[in-house]
């Protein structure tokens, strides 16, 4: 397995382009299953998770043509409605094929996605929503089997805000008979982007981006084209990198208004942020102050930025309290950061981070996508070399992270693990 090596101490300056959003592209690529023609998506990031979902779509009978960041998907002749364990276990977002398959074919058999490093991550709300739409659900031998002759619109309340749950049910409701109202729906930009794609296909959706979404089902959906929105978490990760190294970095091809909570916290910490159109300039020319953060659903501070922000707070002046309210086990990066010299104490869902004068490079182990990114960030400022092992976690969600970091002055390279 490859590893990434970082030599700390370089100040990051210059310009870096942000890629398309993984968490927008995944549901949007799957939405092609709802149509019987060729959908074209541009600005699709070149990531392991994207390659995994395209393999799954092909296994269902869709024809996929990938040309750089442009993906064409023809789902005219679907030949299967099963998502096998060996594909789903690699990428839990595969559960997103469940509802489109039931809506299009009347049947789906999808392996239950197991838990993952950051939590149990059940899919009960996906299944409850699909049942409310009239599907019969059986769970046997580690698989979910769902059937419905024609889904019927329903009033659905999500006990917990769920991003892919909202996306899954929205796709099913688009082809249901009648009106569906989703209450306590996720408001993330990625949900809004999916709604825009569905509307481009002819769906009738009101309220996407608010907590009440109304979908008036239609008979069929037609192919569409769409440009994937920028990745706000990749952007936030590079903003944290600039802040950590006292740098001056301009991000291009991003959407600043998707980053308000992250920008606000960085500004509170003393970072200067200037946005202009699709560019964001991040300048850190004074000491970083400690700031408290609690992760929340959008538009609050994103859980996917918690680990990255914790690294920044580890190098700040003072003490900060970081509360993780979305996932029950999203502090795995803490033990690795401690190995680099961070001073972090955990109590339940709360981490107390005391800023230290310096971090010191060491070999560390990546555990999940965003934890891995936080270890790269720590390596940027740790004295000496930091080696991040199991770097496949990073390749799932960051396109060419070392090339992009090198472009703005980082000393970072990939080594084949011996
Ligand atoms: C999406 O995951 C993202 N993934 C995650 O990004 C992100 O961390 C998460 O939303 C929260 O913003 C994609 O979009 C592909 P949830 P998702 O359903 O949809 C509980 C990354 O690093 N829940 O919003 O799986 C769940 O356990 C990844 O890019 C249920 O209880 O997250 C969690 O506590 C990591 N039952 C909370 O809701 C359900 O049926 C939020 O989960 C569904 C969820």
User: CA–CA separation, 279 vs 276, rounded Å?
Assistant: 5
Which residues does 409 contact at the CB level (< 8 Å), separation at least 6? Answer: 10, 11, 12, 13, 14, 247
**Tokens 């197991």, residue located:** 114
Q: Is pLDDT at 207 greater than 90 in this prediction?
A: yes
| CA angle (412 as vertex; 406, 418 as ends), nearest 5 | 145
**CA 62–ligand 1 middle distance (angstroms):** 26
Domains and CATH numbers, the chain: 2-19+230-416 (3.65.10.10), 22-227 (3.65.10.10)
Tell me which of 39, 99, 116, 315 is the catalytic residue: 116
Q: Please say whether the beta carbons of 254 and 41 come within 8 A.
A: no
Pocket test for ligand 1, best of 19, 21, 22, 23 (most atoms within 8 A of CB): 23
| Probe residue for ligand 1, chosen from 124, 164, 228, 235 as the CB with the greatest number of ligand atoms within 8 Å | 164
pLDDT for the residue 111: 94
CA of 272 to the centre of ligand 1 (A): 31
Tell me what percent of the residues of the chain surpass a pLDDT of 90. Answer: 92
For 45, 129, 171, 172, the CA distances from 96, given in Å and listed in that order, are 18, 13, 9, 10
Ligand 1, closest atom to CA 23?
14
* Phi, psi (deg, nearest 5) at residue 222: -110, 160
Q: Which atom of ligand 1 is nearest to the CA of 233?
A: 29
Dihedral sign computed on CA atoms, order 294, 288, 385, 414: positive
Pocket flag, ligand 1, residue 370 (CB < 6 Å): yes
Asked whether 162 lines ligand 1 (CB < 6 A), one says yes
Residue 39 annotated as catalytic: no
Is 122's C-beta closer than 6 angstroms to any atom of ligand 1? yes
Q: How far, in Å, CA of 132 to CA of 117, rounded?
A: 30
CA 293 to CA 331: how far, in whole Å?
14
Cross-strand pairs, 275: 280
Long-range contact pairs involving 329-335 (C-beta distance under 8 Å, separation at least 24): 329/117, 329/118, 329/119, 330/118, 330/119, 330/303, 330/306, 332/117, 332/118, 332/367, 332/368, 332/371, 333/307, 333/367, 333/370, 333/371, 333/374, 333/375, 334/310
Q: Is the pLDDT of residue 367 over 90?
A: no
Residues, the chain: 418
Q: Are strands 179-183 and 204-206 parallel, antiparallel or unpaired?
A: unpaired
Distance in angstroms (rounded) separating the CA atoms of residues 46 and 183? 34
298 lines ligand 1 (CB under 6 A): no
The Å distance, Cα 162 to ligand 1 centre, comes to 6
Distance 327 CA to ligand 1 centre (A): 8
User: H helices of 223-321, where?
Assistant: 232-244, 260-268, 306-314
Nearest residue by C-alpha to atom 10 in ligand 1: 163
CA of 323 to the centre of ligand 1 (A): 17
CA of 64 to the centre of ligand 1 (A): 27
- CA-based nearest residue to 134, from 113, 106, 96, 109: 106
Inform me whether the pLDDT recorded for 418 exceeds 70: no
Strands of the sheet with 38-42, listed across from one edge: 63-67, 70-74, 38-42, 225-227
- What is the pLDDT at residue 116? 77
Which residue has its alpha carbon closest to ligand 1 atom 30?
122
* Non-local CB neighbours of 288 within 8 Å, separated by 6+ positions: 243, 244, 269, 270, 271, 312, 315, 316, 317, 355
pLDDT in tens, 285-325: 999 999 999 999 999 999 999 999 999 999 999 999 999 99
Q: Going by CA atoms, what residue is nearest to atom 14 of ligand 1?
A: 23
Confidence at residue 230, expressed as pLDDT on a 0 to 100 scale: 98
Mean of the per-residue pLDDT values of the chain: 96
pLDDT of residue 91: 86
Q: What are the pLDDT digits (tens) for 25-52?
A: 999 999 999 999 999 999 999 999 999 9
- Strand order across the 13-17 sheet: 13-17, 248-252, 279-283, 272-276
Res 320: pLDDT = 98
- Provide, rounded to the nearest whole percent, the portion of the chain with pLDDT above 70: 99
Pocket test for ligand 1, best of 163, 186, 330 (most atoms within 8 A of CB): 163
Residue with CA closest to ligand 1 atom 39 = 123
Peptide bond into 310 cis (omega under 30): no
Query: Atom 9, ligand 1: which residue's CA is nearest?
Result: 163
- The number of the ligand 1 atom at minimal distance from the alpha carbon of 120 is 27
């Amino acid at each position: 397995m490859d590893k990434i090596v970082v030599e700390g101490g370089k100040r990051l300056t210059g310009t870096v382009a942000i890629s398309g959003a993984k968490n927008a592209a995944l549901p949007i690529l799957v939405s092609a299953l709802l149509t019987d023609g060729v959908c074209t998506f541009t600005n699709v990031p070149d990531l392991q998770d994207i390659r995994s979902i395209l393999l799954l779509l092909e296994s269902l009978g869709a024809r996929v043509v990938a040309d750089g960041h442009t993906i064409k998907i023809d789902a005219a002749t679907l030949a299967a409605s099963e998502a096998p364990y060996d594909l789903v276990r690699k990428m839990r977002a595969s559960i997103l094929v469940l509802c489109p398959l039931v809506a299009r074919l009347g049947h789906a058999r999808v392996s239950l996605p197991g838990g993952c490093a950051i939590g149990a991550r059940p899919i009960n709300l996906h299944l409850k929503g699909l049942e409310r739409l009239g599907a019969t659900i059986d769970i046997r031998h580690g698989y979910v089997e769902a059937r419905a002759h024609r889904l019927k619109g329903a009033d659905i309340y999500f006990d917990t805000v769920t991003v892919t749950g909202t996306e899954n049910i929205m796709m099913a409701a688009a082809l249901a008979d009648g009106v569906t109202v989703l209450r306590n729906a996720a408001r993330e930009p990625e949900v809004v982007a999916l709604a825009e794609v569905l509307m481009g296909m002819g769906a009738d959706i009101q309220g996407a981006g608010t907590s009440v979404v109304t979908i008036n089902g239609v008979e069929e959906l037609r192919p569409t084209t769409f440009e994937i929105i920028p990745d706000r978490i990749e952007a936030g990760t590079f903003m944290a990198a600039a802040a950590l190294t006292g740098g001056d970095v301009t991000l291009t091809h991003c959407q600043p208004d998707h980053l308000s909570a992250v920008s606000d916290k960085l500004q509170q910490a003393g970072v200067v942020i200037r946005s202009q159109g699709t560019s964001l300039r991040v300048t850190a020319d004074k000491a970083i102050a400690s700031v408290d953060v609690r992760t929340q659903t959008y538009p609050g501070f994103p859980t996917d930025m918690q680990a990255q922000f914790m690294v920044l707070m580890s190098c700040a002046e003072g003490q900060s309290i970081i509360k993780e309210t979305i996932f029950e086990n999203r502090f795995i990066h803490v033990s690795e950061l401690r190995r680099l010299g961070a001073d972090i104490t955990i109590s339940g869902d709360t981490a107390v981070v005391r800023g230290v004068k310096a971090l010191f490079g060491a070999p560390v182990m990546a555990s999940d996508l965003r934890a891995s990114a936080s270890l790269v960030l720590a390596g940027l400022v740790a004295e000496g070399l930091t080696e991040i092992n199991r770097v496949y976690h990073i390749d799932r969600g960051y396109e060419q992270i070392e090339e992009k970091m090198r472009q703005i002055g980082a000393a970072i390279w990939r080594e084949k693990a011996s």
